[in-house]
Amino acid sequence: MIEKNSPIPIYYQLAELIQEEIESGNLQPGDALPSEREFAEKYQISRMTVRQALNLLENNGKLYRIQGKGTFVSEQKIEKHLLGLTSFTEDMTARGLKPSSRLLQFEIIPATLHIANQLYIKEYDPVYEIKRIRLADDVPMALETNYISANLLKGLTEQIINQSLYAYMEAQSIIIESASQTIESSLAEEMEANFLKVKVGAPVMLIQRNTFLQNGTPVELVKSIYRADRYKFTIQMGR
């Protein structure tokens, strides 16, 4: 209900009403919204006010527009908390989604100087290079590349990778204790866009994670490209 005498702007009230419909499940991803004219007639407000509300929700990633067709409900973003070290599989399972991966590349390569420095090994030492597309409910979420010292983790196979890499590490008494992670924004290049099913130039998040054992030994370098339209990160901070 719109309260026209409220100090809260009318466009903001309308945006809240639409968002409540999305969160309650009355509006599902892909559903078309009524036209601006229909909203204006229903609530006896101007089309300009309706447009402000829709623009706000579009900017917040709740809606998207298709020229000549209308306004639709977006797929909602998957939220990952940055407190605690969890795998992609654990994150998706906890949210009731079916995680899966598509292996693009698995081989042992000589470490470049950059990779060697990150893993505290010598240049040209053997490392596993594992490139995968990570999916949730069969929707591509991220393009992920792992680098792991082949001298540290032996016997790695495609079958193990397709199950749970972290579970295999733990079974080999390689227990990850901590990680550092950096996140920055970027735009999808052609190869990335093809794998992630987005347009070239679409916003993505570049993430690098370094994971460590209890004694401080680096065990893994992970470089990931996440779809910014389907994923968001949250963190709780105290003062």
Stronger pLDDT, 14 or 229, i.e. the higher one:
14
pLDDT surpassing 80 at residue 221: yes
With a CB cutoff of 8 Å and minimum separation 6, the contacts of 96 are: none
Query: Could you tell me which CATH class the domain 10-73 is placed in?
Result: mainly alpha
Q: Distance of CA 169 to CAs 114, 116, 126, 157, 219, Å?
A: 23, 20, 18, 12, 10
| Strand segments (E) across the chain | 63-66, 70-73, 78-81, 99-110, 126-136, 139-149, 178-187, 203-212, 218-227, 231-234
Give dist(CA 159, CA 157) in Å, integer.
5
pLDDT surpassing 80 at residue 219: yes
Give dist(CA 133, CA 156) in Å, integer.
18
> Which pLDDT tens digit goes with each residue over 17-60?
998 888 787 888 888 999 999 999 999 999 999 999 998 888 77
**In the chain, which residues fall in CATH 3.40.1410.10?**
78-234
- Could you tell me the strand order of the sheet in which 139-149 lies? 99-110, 126-136, 139-149, 218-227, 203-212, 178-187
Nearest to 220 by CA among 136, 144, 143: 144
pLDDT at 124: 96
**In the chain, which residues fall in CATH 1.10.10.10?**
10-73
Taking each continuous run of H as one helix and of E as one strand, the counts in the chain are 8, 10
Stronger pLDDT, 218 or 167, i.e. the higher one:
218
Report the sign of the C-alpha dihedral through residues 86, 88, 90, 96, in that order.
positive
> Which pLDDT tens digit goes with each residue over 168-216?
888 888 888 888 888 898 899 999 999 998 889 988 989 899 999 888 8
The residues facing 207 across adjacent strands are 183, 224
With a CB cutoff of 8 Å and minimum separation 6, the contacts of 135 are: 99, 100, 101, 102, 141
Tell me if 196 sits within 8 A of 143, measured CB to CB. yes
pLDDT surpassing 90 at residue 96: no
pLDDT at 128: 96
197: left (phi over 0), alpha (psi -120 to 50) or beta: left
Q: N- to C-terminal Cα distance for the chain?
A: 38
Q: What is the mean pLDDT of residues 93-116?
A: 87
Average pLDDT, the chain: 86
CATH architecture for residues 78-234: 3-Layer(aba) Sandwich (3.40)
pLDDT surpassing 60 at residue 82: no
